[in-house]
Amino acid sequence: MKSSVISKEYLALQTDISNLQKEWQKKLEASTIIEKQTLTEKQVPVIAQTEVVINLEQYKEWVFELGDLLVEKDPKLINDIKTIKESLNDGVVKRWADEVLAFNQLFFAKYAEEANVAQWLPYLIAEHAIRPFLRVVSEVFKEDLSALETKGSCPCCGEPIRLAVLEGKGSKMIVCPRCEAKWQQKRLQCSSCGNEDHKKLSYYTVEEDKNLQIEVCEECNSYMKIIDTRKKYKKLTPFLLDVNSIHLDIIAQEKGFGIPKEEVSS
């Protein structure tokens, strides 16, 4: 898979983060995080209609480990990481967990400004440290996800959907890089608006690699990266598949897709 749009150093960092998350997830017990229950709101993601219990001591530990990894990769971050660590009392850790679950990037931007650290840093750390918890939730509710109707977003965590894989006999499975939820969808159907008019769905093959496609919908102007993992890319997690296929996002966005149709028309 082409990855020239990202540096080898960036890819190595993301791989190390992915490996850390795998190890962290092994330490989690599903029964302490989420209680399986009937989902009554079909248009609401799982985490918004259930109680997800985050072990804040564990979360803080993982925030610190991520900070140490980032300093190892880029020593210039040492002062920013030191500042963040010193600020994370119990109340702040709880606030971080709550706000990152809610995608509140404005909170983290304000935090970064007040702490005088790199603006991108707090959200990145907070987000990656929370993902092992979310992946436990998606595993608990994996049989329920296809029944939810959260068009355009992950039925488990609410992340905007952008990635699908082809498995088995060509089944189209949407996967979430954030919580690793996976659910099946019709092959000829827009993942965002549900459009099934094949005349309004187009597919671009990238760099003559038939394993990589971009599905675009003229009805809502969305796009989906589709990767055939039956022969290649099997060992990559959804997160790393997403990172390694950033060039597909760039191609789709350069063609004007990914912007809500009402904004394009205005």
Q: Give residue 5's pLDDT band: very low, low, confident or very high (50, 70, 90).
A: confident
For residue 105, the enclosing domain spans 8-140
pLDDT by residue (tens digit) across 117-170? 999 999 999 999 999 999 999 999 999 999 999 989 999 999 999 999 999 888
Same domain, 135 and 165: no
Residue 264: enclosing H or E segment and its boundaries?
A: helix 261-265
In a domain, 2, yes or no: no
Q: Give residue 265's pLDDT band: very low, low, confident or very high (50, 70, 90).
A: very low
pLDDT of residue 264: 46
Query: How far apart are the C-alpha atoms of 75 and 115, rounded to whole Å?
Result: 19
Nearest to 82 by CA among 90, 96, 71, 73: 71
- In 177-260, where does DSSP find H-type helix? 238-244, 246-254
pLDDT by residue (tens digit) across 15-34? 999 999 999 999 999 999 99
Last residue of a domain, one of 140, 166, 190: 140
In a domain, 3, yes or no: no
Task: Give the predicted TM-score (pTM) of the model.
Answer: 0.92
pLDDT by residue (tens digit) across 31-60? 999 999 999 999 999 999 999 999 999 999
Q: What DSSP string describes 84-128?
A: HHHH--HHHHHHHHHHHHTT-HHHHHHHHHHHTS-TTHHHHHHHH
Same domain, 220 and 101: no
Residues linked to residue 205 through DSSP beta bridges, in sequence order: 213
Last residue of a domain, one of 93, 116, 140: 140
pLDDT by residue (tens digit) across 197-246? 988 999 888 776 788 999 999 999 999 999 999 877 777 899 999 999 99
3-state class percentages of the chain: helix first, strand second, coil last, to nearest 5: 50, 15, 40
In a domain, 246, yes or no: yes
**Apex CA 209: angle with CA 204 and CA 214, to 5°?**
25
